[in-house]
Amino acid sequence: MSSCTREGYRLPLRVYMEDTDAGGIVYYVNYLKFMERARSEWLRQLGLNQQTLLDEGTQLVVYRLACHYAKPACLDDALEISAHVTDVGRCRMTFEQQVWRGEELLCSATVEIACLSTERLRPKAWPTSLKVLTQAS
């Protein structure tokens, strides 16, 4: 079961065949997809979703990413993906994210998200609804 607390969000996830290469090891880019899911589910737990933001003229995009792969995840592994907001600026938000298999840290990343206007595709200030939520998480 997922959880959303002041310390962040944790998403349980199972590794399926489609997530792996021919040897049953998770393909590196899929860790980024897992992290994206955790950020999207974090939004849902806070009462928002990507479609609502798009309808309001706001798009969230990855602006910068630094990732460290420590150990491989494999077919059928039960993982937990964390997402914790560490900084909120006028139009950027920084997440620290991790992928765990039990007590083993498999992957960690710092992900900067930018808030853009869907009309102009230029940076814009966080909508009030999201800014309030990010201060509470």
Residue 129 gets the label, from left (phi > 0), alpha (psi -120 to 50) or beta, of alpha
55 is catalytic: no
Catalytic option among 21, 55, 76, 87: 21
CA distances 89 to 30, 66, 101, 112, 124, Å, are 28, 18, 32, 10, 11
CA distances 1 to 23, 73, 82, 92, 130, Å, are 29, 20, 13, 29, 24
Question: How many angstroms separate the CA atoms of 132 and 84, rounded?
Answer: 16
Catalytic residue numbers read 21
